[in-house]
Each structure stands twice: as C-alpha cells, then as structure tokens.
Amino acid sequence: MINVKRITVVVIVKGKLMSVKKANVKSKIKNIAKKIPFFRNTFKKIHKQYSLLHQHGKLPWQVFSSPRVVFFKACRYFFRMRFRYDFKNSKRVLIYCIYEPSGNLKKYKHIFLKELSRLADSVYIVVNGDLSSADKEKLGKIGDLCIRENQGYDTGAFKYAIQKLKKEKLSRYDQLLMVNDTNVGPFGDLNEVFEFFSKKKVDFWGITQGEKQRDYLAINPYGYVPNHLQSFFIVVEKSLLMDNRFYEYFDRLPKINKRDEAILYHETVFTKYFSDLGYRYRPYIKYNTNSATYTKPLTFVKEFKSPIVKYSAFEKNKFKYEIHGLDLNSEVPTLIDYIRNKMNYPEDALEEILEDIEKKEVERQHILIIDGVENQIPQCTRYRVLNKKEQLESLGYKVRVVNNSKLQVSRIEYAKMVIVYRAPYSDLLSLIADLCHKYSIPILFDIDDLVIDTKYTDLLNYTKNLSQFDKKNYDSGVNNYKKAMLMCDGVITSTSDLARELKNYTDLVLLNRNLASNELIELSQRYIEHSNNSESIVKIGYFSGSITHNENFELIKSAIVNVLKRYENVELHLVGYLSLPDDLKIYSGRVIVHDYVCWEKLPELISGVDINLAPLVDNVFNRAKSEIKWLEAALVKIPTIASNIGAFKEMIVDGSTGVLANNDEWFEKLERLIISVDERKKLAENAYKHCIDHCCTSGHTDEIIDFVRRMIE
C-alpha cells in the first residue's frame, strides 16, 4: 500500500540510488490516490524493476527523471476519467489548413473538408496564400474562412488559429481536430474512427505514426526523430485542451521557413513533448514500417481500414522508394483500380489528383549542385556553385544547391542532373552516384584546382612545409577528392590547362570558366568612379587569395623592391593571407597591409589601386589556375600585369586587355605602366569591355551548357 501522508519516489540518476521525498504533493494526491490503481501500479513497477536490476548488479541511468513525472501521469489519468466524452454528443472544433499555389481549390480538398466538417460543431479554415473568389465563397459555406500570408506551412496555420481562438474558446470543446489538405478521401466512415477512440484512454491521437530515426538536419531538440503522430491529421482531447502548456507549446514554436523545419520543430516534437508530460496518445494505424503511410496506401485502406490516403502516396515512382532505401514495388496502380471499382469516389477528383502529380513531377525537375566547400572558402562557393546556378537559371534551368554536410539521398529525387563541387568521397556520395548511374541521371564532378592528386599538390611550397601529421591529413583529403571524382560520369573545370590534365583521369571533361555574377558586376559599377585618379601617387596592389600564394609573390619581390627604390611616389598594397618579407620592411611607410576581406568589399579595395599584380610560379599546378584576379580588376577598370602562363596567357591579349610578363620582365613592364597613365586607362577600358561582353553569368553558353542541353532537353 502507498502511504499518502508521506510519498517517496525512487529515482536513479547516473547510477546512484536516491530517495526523493515529495511531501508537497500530498495534498494534491490524497483525495485521488485511492481511486487511481495506475498510481499504485507505477510504484510497484519501480520497485520490481529496481529489485531485478539490483540482483544482477546493474542500475539504469534513470527510472524517472523527476518525481513529478509520476504525479503528472496520475493527474493525466484523473483528467481522462473526468473528461471522457460521449461519442454521439461530443462537441468538436476543426482547424483545416489549405495551401493552393495555383489559387484554385482542388476538388479532393473540398470533398474531404466537406465530409470532415459534418463531424465538427465549428470549422475554421485557414488558407496559406490566396484563393479565387468562387473558392472563397464555396469554403465560406462550410466554416469561418481566414486568408493569411503563406508562412510556416501547416504548422504556421495551426499556430495562427490556436493563438487566435485561445484557450477560452477551445477549452469549451471536447475535441480539437488539426487537419491539413494533404488527405484524400474519405475512403470509409470517419465516424468509425472517432467512435474507436471514444473507447480509448488517450489524450490525443492521429491516423498514422512516423518511425524513430536519425535527425539528418541536426535541429530536433531530442537529438533524433522520435516516434510521432503524423501531423496531417491530429485530434486533441479535452484533457489536453484544458492544459495551459498546450497553448504555451504553440506560442514557443520558432519561425518556420522550410518544410524540414516544420517536420523537425513541430511534427516530430509534439507527440513526445506531451507524452513526456504524462499525456497518452496512439495512432489509429500503428503499422508504419518502411514509411508505409506513403509506400503502402492500398494496404492501409484495405487491411487497416484507413479512411484516408496521403496525397503524395499517389506518386508511383520506384526511384523515389529506392532513394529512401526501400526495395518496394508501387501499390499505386492497384490502389487506383481499387478506388475506381470498390469506392464511391468521384472519378473527376481522382483524375485531377493524378494529372496534378504528373505535372508536379515535371515541375520539380532540376539540376542539383552539391557544395563540398560550403562557403569555407567563399571565393570557391561563389564562383563554382552560386555563379554556376545563376548562369544555368539565366538560361531557363531550375537549380537547387545543397551543402554536402546536409546531403540526403532524397535530395536527388527530382534531379535531372547532379553536379558535385569539390566534395570528398563518402559512402553517401557513393550511393548517390550508384543511383544516378542506375537511373541514367548524369552526375559530374566540378573541380577548379589540381587538388585531385598528390603529384600536383606536392609541388606547392605550402605542402612542403607541413608537418608529417598535417601532410598525411592533407593528402588524405586530396585522395578523397580523386576517389569522388572517379565515381562520376565526368568532370567540369575552369581552365583549359586544368582540362588537359584531367583528361588523364576521365574522358568527359567540360570547360566552364569562372564568370562574373550579376551582383559582382553591380558592386563593381559603384566603385569604377572611385578608382584612384591621382597622378602623383601610383598604387600597385597584390590580392592574395589563399595561404598557398606566398611563393607567387616571391617571384616578383625583387621587381617590387626595385620599383619602390626607384619611384618614391609608388605605394604597395597587400591584401589577404601574406607574410610581409623582410626586404620590404624598410619601405613600411609605403607598404599598406590590408586584412583579408569578404568578396563584397573586394571591388572597393581593388578600385583603390592603379595596377593589379597577378604573378604565378610556372608549374603544372599554377598553370591550371583561373583568371579571376584579372576578371575582378577589369570590372572596376584596373589594368592587370599577370604571369605569361595558363589561363592568363589564354584570356589576356597582351598590350590590349592587360600585360603578360615572363619571369625576367616584371620590372620592365611594371615600370612602363607606372610611368604611363594613358596606357593604364587604355588597358583598363579594353579589359572591362571584354569581360562585360564575354565573362558574365547571364546568358553565357559554354561546354557545360551544351552538355545540359544534350542530356536534359
């Protein structure tokens, strides 16, 4: 027997047995404890569990996290007894969420809402977006209609309605129905479902449940996705509607901008949150192995008597199952026949669903770019991912970008082509490549540096100075790039020299040069007029892109020293990751060092100099580098002197759009530009015009565009 005068709860925390006295709950439990066998049984289970574990020398981490859990469970039981409702006389309120991107209400949504509304005393219809006047009039005959901005998906709509109605109104009802417009049906009597739950001791329930799984986006507060009622159809009983915490839950929901956030902030949290508070729940259909809600719609209707089919379950794409790790055949063809022959469901509504799904599958098709750099090197993500996206979109292609760390197999579901930018090998990437090969989806690896083989990276002074441990890690990364590249159909790259080297690894190599984005052009335009116009001071600038560029500056250091020695009106501006050599410290008054800046501020810095320097040590690694430094300077009308190798040699017309210098010519050619203002202006104007005409993303066609047209169109 439990002594209600002094209640002791056994709690085991981190392997330590503690006795926690909760005399302060005595008064609240005293009058109901004897009436609640569950409460007494809870203690019996605790003591029994502890005894068994103690006999085997084991202790669990936790039996109950807090004595109040026992109290909550007891109170929930009491409320369920108190608020058990009469199925026939219960009072219900329905919140129904609609989203129609076309602005025209689909027939299946009106059919389902009309049938469901027969069970409700009050109906609140929340539309995310807008509808035609005729549809608004039609819905207005069913319930109160609210048109709101399309924000937060169905979660945002439910939150909006609950905050508007408040506890004062909602607690007057026996049940709250929260339902969205992805339900197709009914394919059975909805009354039977409600009657079924009238006999169950639950505080909230739904039609189906989702499985426990990993939290791929790492935003779920539980650190994983727990078992949960799927939020497209949830009913909340009065016992929960009476609790302030139900309303506080929705008040605290964060702003939701993506579908994944709606799932991981709300759908997969709601069930466990209130279950942990002692409220009981259950789904109408407990079976959901292999995402059966979507993969076994016919089984749900025939065997489990589900009154609904999820709209997305009508998709019959076997590829969709496989990317979710399911080796299943679609039930959709048989389901459609079953509905037509066995169910009294309007044929025109069914045809509309099938036509809409086929249309959406085409509309969703896109080119997927996987960003392996993820803006850790902003210049790389900008030129090889975002600018490529802008280029493709300017020619009418839909493009989606996903960071490699957030990648899931499901992201390739509607991909017509996959581009992997500089992502290392992983089992997940390998699986995606295998699926692409199996379903004839082109997959290409994009690389803009020879970081795919240590025979190239070993040429860098940077790698030669690494410790043995750091060199091993660096080489491992290089080898993983190579492994990822080789499992793709071909390679996209940024320069002709790089393309020639990559031909040694794969037959298909596509040239897609680095291009100027619309945003970069717009930013550059602002600073053209601010270019240094002083004839008395000549500023020469070296903009170091990465820590591997110090050796390139060494190539021209002696020429720079001689210039500073001979011309006292010359300033040297150094920007980025560069150590100031001792030779230049005696000129520190005329050497201005700037920190590395984000790309948005780079046009302003470049426009502040008169001559841009772009030296490269002549080796196979550097010959593969692109002409970005020349391009960015040209856009603010600053002339460039560059090493006469690689992409510079290919893109710059010497003496017209820039100056090319061999290793022994740097002083001579730099001196010529220092002396001649007119020469600088001529080179700058020519380079600017060439880049605006030929080196911008908008409408630019090249080998990657030709390939996309052949493979997709």
pLDDT 10s digits, 365-399: 899 999 999 988 888 999 999 999 999 999 999 99
Q: What does the alpha-carbon distance between residue 99 and residue 130 come to, in Å, rounded to a whole number?
A: 8
Whether 13 shows a pLDDT value over 70: the answer reads no
Length of the chain in residues, anyone? 713
**Strand 611-614 to 591-594 pairing:** unpaired
Contact yes or no for 271/282 (Cβ under 8 A): no
For residue 532, what pLDDT is reported?
55
As beta bridge partners, residue 94 has: 123, 177
Can you give the pTM of this predicted structure?
0.69
| Phi, psi angle pair for 550, to nearest 5° | -60, -40
For residue 460, what pLDDT is reported?
83
Residue 505 CB coordination number (10 Å): 15
pLDDT band at residue 324 under the 50/70/90 scheme: low
Q: How is 88-147 classified by DSSP, letter by letter?
A: GG--EEEEEEEE-TTSS--HHHHHHHHHHHTT-SEEEEEEES---HHHHHHHHTTSEEEE
pLDDT band at residue 83 under the 50/70/90 scheme: low
Instruction: Name which residue leads in pLDDT, 9 or 107.
Output: 107
Q: Which of 452, 459, 444, 448 is nearest to 499 (CA)?
A: 448
Q: What does the alpha-carbon distance between residue 524 and residue 688 come to, in Å, rounded to a whole number?
A: 11
Whether 23 shows a pLDDT value over 50: the answer reads no
Structure tokens at 37: 């066998």
For residue 143, what pLDDT is reported?
97
pLDDT band at residue 498 under the 50/70/90 scheme: very high
Q: What is the pLDDT of residues 598-656, one digit of tens each?
A: 888 899 999 999 999 999 999 898 899 999 999 999 999 999 999 999 999 999 999 99
Whether 402 shows a pLDDT value over 90: the answer reads yes
Contact yes or no for 538/569 (Cβ under 8 A): yes
Structure tokens at 479: 């080898």
Distance, C-alpha 695 to centroid of its chain? 30
3 state SS of 27: helix
Mean pLDDT of 554-575: 93
For residue 4, what pLDDT is reported?
35
pLDDT band at residue 75 under the 50/70/90 scheme: low
Mean pLDDT of 537-553: 77
Whether 538 shows a pLDDT value over 90: the answer reads yes
Q: Write down the mean pLDDT value for the chain.
A: 86
Residue 46 CB coordination number (10 Å): 17
Contact yes or no for 348/315 (Cβ under 8 A): no
| Phi, psi angle pair for 80, to nearest 5° | -60, -40
As beta bridge partners, residue 209 has: 229
Amino acid at 404: N
For residue 357, what pLDDT is reported?
87
Q: What is the pLDDT of residues 279-315, one digit of tens each?
A: 999 999 998 887 788 888 999 999 999 999 999 899 8
> How would you class 109 by CB atoms within 10 Å of its CB: exposed for 0-12, middle for 13-18, buried for 19 or more?
buried
Question: Which run of H or of E encompasses 516?
Answer: none
Instruction: Name which residue leads in pLDDT, 378 or 446.
Output: 446
Q: Which of 601, 656, 669 is nearest to 630 (CA)?
A: 656
Instruction: Name which residue leads in pLDDT, 428 or 529.
Output: 428
Please state which of the ranges 450-454, 456-460, 476-480, 677-681 shows the lowest mean pLDDT. Answer: 456-460
Give me the torsion for CA of 650, 654, 657, 663, rounded to 10°.
Answer: 80
Whether 221 shows a pLDDT value over 80: the answer reads yes
Whether 507 shows a pLDDT value over 70: the answer reads yes
What are the residues whose beta carbons fall under 8 Å from the beta carbon of 36, sequence distance 6 or more? 74, 77, 78
Strands in 509-511's sheet, in edge-to-edge order, are: 399-403, 366-371, 415-421, 443-446, 490-493, 509-511
Residue bearing tokens 């019996």: 44
